[in-house]
Amino acid sequence: MAAAASGFAASLPRPSAERTTSYSFSTSLHSQIRIPYRPLQTRTLRGGSALNPRCEMGSENSVQTVKIGSRSLSSSALELLKTSAADRYTKERSSIAVIGLNVHTAPVEIREKLAIPEAQWSQAIGELCALNHIEEAAVLSTCNRMEIYVVALSQHRGVKEVTEWMSKVSGVPVSELCKHRVLLYNKDATQHLFEVAAGLDSLVLGEGQILAQVKHVVKVGQGVPGFDRKISGLFKHAITVGKRVRSETNIASGSVSVSSAAVELALMKLPEPSYSTARVLVIGAGKMGKLVIKHLVAKGCTKMVIVNRSEERVAALRKELKDVEIIYRPLSDMLACAAEADVIFTSTASESPLFLKEHVQTLPSVSPELGNRLFIDISVPRNVEPCVSDLEAATVYNVDDLKEVVAAHKEDRLRKAMEAQTIITEESNKFEGWKDSLETVPTIKKFRAYAERIRASEVEKCLSKMGDDISKKQKKAIYDLSMGIVNKLLHGPMEHLRCDGSDNRALSEILENMRALNRMFDLETDTSLLEEKVRAKVERTQR
């Protein structure tokens, strides 16, 4: 469900309801079903704070916000280090956070404002990482969600900056964003992405397209400054989780996709549950459109008109679906084709509506048996103007209306989702172990630098005592000898500071080894890691 996104200077919805232990899915316009696939305990943030923190509005004391598109950065972050409660702020560890909204927490009219087209993901990462307290970032934007994953140097300040950035690029007020925001930290954020990749957080439980979209985030992020070690590691691990869940459970068996749900919804609304007599029009032959066409064929549709910018993709579909009559028409013929259609599916990346109210009201009426012309719009931003639904001769359904169909397929997969949770918990613990072990990296670097200073100093003393007659070969032998001794001495301590999440050593043991080395070799400094990162960020941007 690749997001057909509007220019994201005017496209970002509001963050949504903070996470609880289960989601509500509409089975109709008025009833709901609870989906309790989460552990039963209520999630809390580290430190005991609730999962629905007060939305902070801008104030006189807030950190100066970076202008969108600009790489300028003031020293306000460093000033805060000096004036705020130092023990609470400068010793704070960086956090992984997810800020965004999805189909469970925000309606499509909000999500489409926040949609970020793939072509602008790299730009968005750059602007996010230019914020004072954001070190790394990634964007996951689909038709069902727009989520920003960040490594924040300061948890609450970072979230505040990202929320303000979202408000500025979308035009949605911060207070409105907070009504729909998903906001999760650290292990909760990790588990959320793993559930997303596994298909547990999708509108259609178990759907597989989201895993391909998570993979695409990694592909697009490669080489982009800001898509760095922690965020890259998080998304790569999420891909592993998604593959494991699909190979070790049956969650994807018999599952429906958004495209198939759209085809089924239209079938439910036809007077006769058959596509044999309905005149079908599909606008768009991209990934989503292709899936719609295939599901239409599976449901017995043998003739359809496809409107697309070019005929190339339609010709490929004709070869693949030889028993189906597929008629290609260019985009310029869209309204003429719509006048002859009973059911119209739209799934394009257009940033503005294709069907306006004034266009649709001029179309001739469909047969009395059908009643209304059906528009099934699964694009985000939407291809059909919302006010088209005000017309008596037209009925419009968008991606949020698919919940009615999805509910009918959900019960069996809920049992399979419980199996997936075991895998997700296991992989989440592995990732957290790997992430937390990164705390030892500064100690490893300092310890190596400490040993190198001693080695270089002693080699220099040795060479000075040996005089000028020593040959290059002898110098190299002395150098190699010193490096060999240091590397062998460092090997043991280094191994006890590393953790990839797959060994059996407890993280507490690794961190204790780190603290012991810091004490023995006086490796700790007075400047906190957070302060070092903020200072380096300011210096970089002021060059």
Q: What is the CATH number of the domain that holds 345?
A: 3.40.50.720
Confidence at 251, pLDDT banded by 50, 70, 90:
confident
317 and 215 in one domain? no
Last-in-domain residue among 223, 248, 273: 248
Judge if 263 and 389 occupy the same domain.
yes
Residue 67: predicted pLDDT? 37
34 within a domain of the structure (yes/no): no
The closest of 503, 529, 537 to 440, measured between CA atoms, is 529
Show the domain range for 118. 95-248
State pLDDT tens for residues 174-207.
999 999 999 999 999 999 999 999 988 888 777 7
Residue 119: which H helix or E strand, with range?
none
- Distance (Å, whole) CA 6 – CA 347: 14
* For residue 35, pLDDT beyond 70: no
Is 339 part of any domain?
yes
The tokens for 81 are 């280090």
Q: Is residue 317 part of a domain?
A: yes
CA–CA separation, 13 vs 145, rounded Å? 10
Residues 242 and 302 in one domain: no
- With contact defined as beta carbons under 8 Å apart, do 372 and 394 qualify? yes
Q: Phi, psi at residue 431, to the nearest 5°?
A: -65, -45
- Which one of 214, 248, 282 terminates a domain? 248
pLDDT of residue 311: 93
In this structure, the answer to whether residues 374 and 445 fall within a common structural domain is no
**In whole angstroms, what is the distance from residue 3 CA to residue 249 CA?**
28
| pLDDT-derived band at 448, boundaries 50, 70, 90 | confident
Q: Which residue has the higher pLDDT, 43 or 305?
A: 305
Token output for 379: 């694009």
What would the 3-class secondary structure string for 167-181 be? HHHHCCCHHHHHCCC
- The residue that leads in pLDDT, 208 or 211, is 211
Is position 280 within any domain?
A: yes
- 225 by DSSP, 3-state: which? coil
| 238 and 293 within one domain | no
Residues 376-386 have pLDDT tens digits of: 999 988 999 99
Q: Helix, strand or coil for residue 437?
A: helix
Q: Are residues 315 and 391 in the same domain?
A: yes
Please tell me whether the peptide bond between 381 and the residue prior to it is cis, using omega within 30 degrees of 0. yes
Same domain, 223 and 155: yes
Token pair, residue 175, equals: 């207070």
Residue 543 is predicted with a pLDDT of: 56
Other CB atoms within a 10 A radius of the CB of residue 449 amount to: 10
Fill in the amino acid letter for 529: L
Decide if 110 contacts 12 (C-beta within 8 A). no
Region 322-329: what's the mean pLDDT?
Answer: 92
Among 50-59, 137-146, 270-279, the range of highest mean pLDDT: 137-146
Query: Would 318 be classed as within a structural domain?
Result: yes
259 contacts 2 by C-beta, under 8 angstroms: no
Min mean pLDDT across 84-93, 230-239, 408-417 is at: 84-93
**Which CATH number belongs to the domain containing residue 139 in this structure?**
3.30.460.30
Query: How far is 431 from 238, CA to CA, in rounded Å?
Result: 9
- Count: domains in the chain: 3
Examine residue 22 and state whether it is found in any structural domain, yes or no: no
Rounded to the nearest 5°, which phi and psi values hold at 400?
-70, -25
Both 492 and 382 in a single domain? no
Q: Is residue 45 part of a domain?
A: no
pLDDT of residue 510: 72
pLDDT at 512: 76
Question: In whole numbers, what is the pLDDT of the chain averaged over residues?
Answer: 78
One-letter amino acid of 414: L
Give pLDDT, residue 533.
Answer: 58
Give dist(CA 535, CA 216) in Å, integer. 33
In this predicted structure, what is the pLDDT of residue 255? 54
In DSSP notation, 61-84 reads: TSPPPPPTT-----THHHHHHHHS
Which pLDDT score, from 0 to 100, does residue 24 have?
Answer: 36
- Angstrom distance (rounded) from CA 337 to CA 359: 12
| Residue 528 vs residues 12, 84, 93, 367, 445: alpha-carbon distances, Å | 35, 14, 9, 73, 15
Q: Are residues 244 and 332 in the same domain?
A: no
Question: Could you say which of 55, 129, 143, 178 is catalytic?
Answer: 143
Which tokens in the block code for residue 68? 């969108």
Whether 6 is covered by a domain: the verdict is: no
Do 289 and 318 have their domain in common? yes
H and E: helices and strands count for the chain: 19, 12
| Catalytic annotation present for 387 | no
Judge if 274 and 393 occupy the same domain: yes
| Bridge-based pairing state of the strands 32-35 and 95-102 | unpaired
Residues 229 and 328 in one domain: no
Q: Flag whether pLDDT at 301 surpasses 80.
A: yes
CB distance 331 to 349 below 8 Å: no
Average pLDDT over residues 410-427: 81
386 or 62, which is more confident: 386
The one-letter code for the residue type at 225 is P
Q: Which of 190, 222, 248 is the last residue of a domain?
A: 248
DSSP readout, 352-407?
S-SB-HHHHTTSPP--TTT-SEEEEE--SS-SB-GGGGGSTTEEEEEGGGGHHHHH
pLDDT, tens digit, 9 for 90 and up, residues 450-476: 889 999 999 999 988 888 888 889 999
3-state secondary structure at position 319: helix
The CA distance from 13 to 106, in Å, is 8
